[in-house]
Amino acid sequence: MAETVLRADAVRKSFGDQEVLKGIDLEVTQGEVICLIGASGSGKSTLLRCLNLLEQVDDGDIWLDDQEITDPRIDVDKVRRSVGIVFQAYNLFPHLSVLDNIVLGPVKALGHKRADAHDQAVELLDRIGLADKAKAYPDALSGGQQQRVALVRAMAMQPKVLLLDEITSALDPMLVGDVLDVIRALRSEGMTIVMATHEMSFAREIADRVVFLCEGQIEEIGTPEQIFTAPRSPRTAEFLTRYLG
Amino acid sequence: MSPSERQLERQRFRRRRSLIRGAVAAVSTVLILGGLAVIVTQSPGWPRVHRTFFDWNDAKDAFPSIASAFVLNIRLFLVIEVLVLIVGIIVAIVRVVPSPALAPIKLLAIVYADVFRGTPTLLVVLLVGFGVPALELQGTPTSLFWLGVIALTLSYGAYVAEVIRAGILSIHPTQWASGRALGLTYGQTMRHIVLPQAIRRVAPPLLNDFVSLQKDTALLSTIGLVEALRQAQVISGHYFIFTPYVVAALFFIAATIPLARLTDFLTVRSLRRENGI
């Protein structure tokens, strides 16, 4: 049995009167890819933001390895260095070149030498075929290229887990493929990934487990094969028919 | 490939149209400016106005002493601009930081911004210039230069703080989240990600405040600093001519132009870099 990297225990979160997460239990094991699916507003993004401590949970706890990270006494910045996250848009810093975007975290947060961080960044960019864009600024890149750089930037921090929050939702279909290729490559390198997505066929292809969220609760969790072909819950079935037509 | 007949026809039309537009603009400019010149110079009082405000020889005589007095204005606004930027950034940051521990300082920052934005600059100058030395406190500056610097820094720091605060608040929240998600601290995120973008975004209104500040160094004449306006006043009072004022005005105008061009240059440069144009 692989070791658990990240674990959520009865996590609750409300915004005002709106209860967005109503007790989420989830275990993420080393090297696993989990896809969160569900309608907009079902709590996918909020769950990811809670796992990264960008949102404070109202109740329940989250464990990273054997440390409870919802403990207010822990160093939040240290946790975030080992849990990477990429958002739907506005990830890159527009006033910094692609290279400086990638180098910033390792240099400022991890205290790496600039030269080392630089070499690592060039190598990562080379791997996703964007080495020639190192000196470019984010706004000069296409949306797909920007998201690939954002992925690389998160990877440069060498996180234990990578959280992806609908990172292809703002892209036109032609550009989605390139971004998904990068995720495939990360998976084959053994990266642990939790991603919220609307790309059902991709989820089916890449996920070890698929989690269907509905109104702030995990309605169903299972292998992609099981979820997509034989959903147990009628709500899962309904959601999938609407999505897959 | 040569352009199609249709495209050539379009180009001919566009050329003709821009020629006509240029001609209309030229003619109307000459007419309006010429008309104004005629109205002013034909007015009954023009000879006297010309003698007192626009006398070439008076201007030449006043030029050297006003020029050397304007050096003081330049020294003043260069020092004040740096200090204003520092005060503005600090006050703006204090106001946006969500730390409850800072509550008393935050309150102070709010009171500061409200009071000094609400008080006429001239009044601040008089209060600091005459009030602070009157306290006879140990360590308070007595040099008029530094009293002037303090007065205008207090007044403009409040404006600039609000401009910078608006800039900080205009940065997309995901930029904050991205910085924090990389494990940067709040301070690092502010320093490396949010503030650089915020300052760039508010550069034009910031420049506006600096231009205004450069002109307001003339207010310091009221506490006895002999800067360009004061010097012009002295000459004017002596010979009963007003041309020195016009000379002083030209100095103030000339001083704002480099600042405007510098900002244009910086804006264009960052646009070019960031948009790859």
Residue A53 CA to residue B122 CA, distance in Å, equals: 50
CB of B200 less than 8 A from some CB of A? yes
Residue of A nearest to B201 (CA): A95
Q: What is the rounded average pLDDT for all residues in chain B? A: 90
Chain position carrying tokens 């810093």: A93
Alpha-carbon distance values, B74 to B123, B128, B214, B221, B253 (Å):
22, 21, 8, 14, 12
Residue B121 CA to residue B126 CA, distance in Å, equals: 9
**Residue B260: which pLDDT band, with cuts at 50, 70 and 90?**
confident
- The single-letter DSSP state of residue A3 is P
Alpha helix positions (H), chain A = 44-51, 76-82, 98-104, 114-127, 143-155, 173-188, 200-206, 224-229, 234-244
Token pair of A154, please? 């998160």
- Residues A56-93 have pLDDT tens digits of 999 999 999 989 999 989 998 989 999 999 999 889 99
- Residues B67-120 have pLDDT tens digits of 999 999 999 999 999 999 999 999 999 999 888 888 899 999 999 999 999 999
**Residue B141: which pLDDT band, with cuts at 50, 70 and 90?**
confident
Mutate to test the interface with A, among B168, B172, B178, B186 (most CBs of A within 10 A): B178
- Residues B116-132 have pLDDT tens digits of 999 999 999 999 999 88
For residue A1, is pLDDT > 60?
no
pLDDT of amino acid A245: 65
Contact B183 A54 (CB under 8 A): no
Residue of A nearest to B181 (CA): A80
- Residues A31-52 have pLDDT tens digits of 999 999 999 889 999 999 999 9
Q: Which residues pair with B165 in a beta bridge?
A: none
- Residues A93-131 have pLDDT tens digits of 999 999 999 999 999 999 999 999 999 999 999 988 899
Phi-psi region of A234 (alpha: psi -120 to 50; beta: other; left: phi over 0): alpha
Residue A47 CA to residue A12 CA, distance in Å, equals: 9
**Residue B237: which pLDDT band, with cuts at 50, 70 and 90?**
confident
- The single-letter DSSP state of residue A9 is E
Mutate to test the interface with B, among A78, A95, A145, A155 (most CBs of B within 10 A): A95
Contacts of A34 (CB under 8 A, 6+ apart): A26, A28, A193, A194, A195, A207, A208, A209, A210, A211
Give the domain ranges of chain A. Answer: 4-11+29-91+159-244
- Residues B17-31 have pLDDT tens digits of 999 999 999 999 999
Residue A159 CA to residue A190 CA, distance in Å, equals: 12
pLDDT of amino acid A41: 87
Which residues from chain B sit within 8 angstroms of residue A93, using beta carbons? 175, 178-179, 193, 197
Report the side by side order of strands in the sheet with A59-64: A18-29, A4-15, A59-64, A67-68
Proportion of chain A above pLDDT 90, given as a percent: 76
Mean pLDDT of the region A235-239: 92
Chains A–B, number of C-beta pairs less than 8 Å apart: 75
CATH architecture of A4-11+29-91+159-244: 3-Layer(aba) Sandwich (3.40)
Contacts of A59 (CB under 8 A, 6+ apart): A10, A11, A12
Mean pLDDT of the region B196-224: 91
Mutate to test the interface with B, among A51, A93, A139, A166 (most CBs of B within 10 A): A93
Residue B152 CA to residue B146 CA, distance in Å, equals: 10
Report the side by side order of strands in the sheet with A217-222: A83-86, A161-165, A192-196, A33-37, A209-214, A217-222
pLDDT of amino acid B277: 53
Contact B177 A54 (CB under 8 A): yes
Residue A51 CA to residue A43 CA, distance in Å, equals: 12
The DSSP result for A32-84, as a single string, is: -EEEEE--TTSSHHHHHHHHTTSS--SEEEEEETTEETTSTTS-HHHHHHHEE
**Residue B270: which pLDDT band, with cuts at 50, 70 and 90?**
confident
